[in-house]
Amino acid sequence: MKNQAIPRLTAKVLIPPILLFALYVQFHGDFGPGGGFQAGVIFAAAFVLYALINGVKATQEVVSMRTLEIGIASGVLLYAGVGVYTMLQGAEYLNYNAIDPTHPVHGQHLGILLVELGVGITVASVMATIFLVFANRARRNA
Amino acid sequence: MIPLIDAALLVFMAVITIVIIRHHGLFTVVMLTGIFSLLSAGLFTVMDAVDVAFTEASVGAGISTVLMLAAIALTTSEEKVVKSGRLLGLAVAIGVGAVLIYGTMDLPAFGDAAAPIHHHVAPKYIASPGEFDIPNMVTTVLASYRGYDTLGETTVVMTAAIGVLLLLGGKENEEDAS
């Protein structure tokens, strides 16, 4: 679709708001609908749109497969790490109260924010990876 | 008004299901499944389950559709028509459907306050926005009360990507080039 002006321009206009909306859904999940899963999928959708317009190769220059692989693992590690941290603080695994013992509600807020961020990073990386791998294989077969 | 919206959405979904069954062009079928997901997202919204609706719209109607299209690009866009054993399949489908409908007859009505699910831990969860000072109780249940489950789900998502990477993500080599 490299030479089609309208899809290219539409994507150019749409991609920044999509990324911004994903971040809004990610960090506003405490107050409205949404959270890490939805935010990750929306974030990945921006990359899918970019790949549809500019091709897989150009997308991999923006974000390499290596970066995505690190993203996949680091989201889960962040989530599990929060649990390990609460254990080191002497509480149960994933008991966020222990993050801020003097103010458990703050601990809960921070814990939920961090694990949702972990979910978001993993889901976004996974969705982008799966699409790019499929598209890459299709390009090679063609 | 709401029963009218429900009826309209369900009729659309039923029609789309029939078209999906009858149609053999997979591109059309994938597009229709995306519309089906969007309609069910509308249904969830009517039932006040906005978080579920949001997930259904983004995952079901969005990413799944794109991934299915990518899969079509890798395989074929025509369904292989099977002529034999169709009556048996119909009988099994009707049988299973009838059993499922029979099973739902014992379920409490939608929104029934006396349903068991509203008397176990739900009252505590509903009171939780006060406890955690977080307005969206779906988030507190998902990330805090059921933190283990969400960790497991995230791990499952990661495992899916690892599987896809192992199957399709290999580097280009002599064998692929031929």
Q: Give the side-chain half-sphere CA count within 13 A for A109.
A: 15
CA distance A90 to A19: 38
Partner residue opposite A29 with nearest CB, options B136, B153, B165: B136
For residue B174, the model assigns a pLDDT of: 45
Structure confidence by residue, pLDDT tens digits, B113-139: 888 888 888 888 887 666 778 888 888
b or e along B121-139 (b: 16 or more beta carbons within 10 Å of the residue's beta carbon)? eeeebeebeeebebebbbb
Predicted local distance difference test score (pLDDT) of residue A136: 87
Alpha-carbon span B14 to A135, nearest angstrom: 32
Chain B residues with CB inside 8 Å of A129's CB?
161, 164-165, 169
Percent of chain B at pLDDT > 70 equals 94
Question: Quick check: A2 pLDDT over 70?
Answer: no
The band of B26, judged by pLDDT with boundaries at 50, 70 and 90, is very high
Q: How far A133 CA lies from chain B's nearest CA (Å)? A: 6
Cα gap A101→A115, rounded to integer Å: 18
Contact B143 A115 (CB under 8 A): yes
Q: Provide the domain count of chain A.
A: 1
CB B145 within 8 A of CB B125: yes
Whether A96 and chain B come into contact, CB under 8 Å, resolves to: yes
Q: How confident is residue B31, by pLDDT bands cut at 50, 70 and 90?
A: very high
Residues A73-130 pLDDT 10s? 999 999 999 999 999 988 889 889 888 888 888 888 899 999 999 999 999 999 999 9
Q: Which of B54, B70, B150 sits opposite A34 (nearest CB)?
A: B54
- Count CA atoms within 13 Å of residue A31 on its CB side: 4
Of B53, B74, B151, the CB nearest to A79: B151
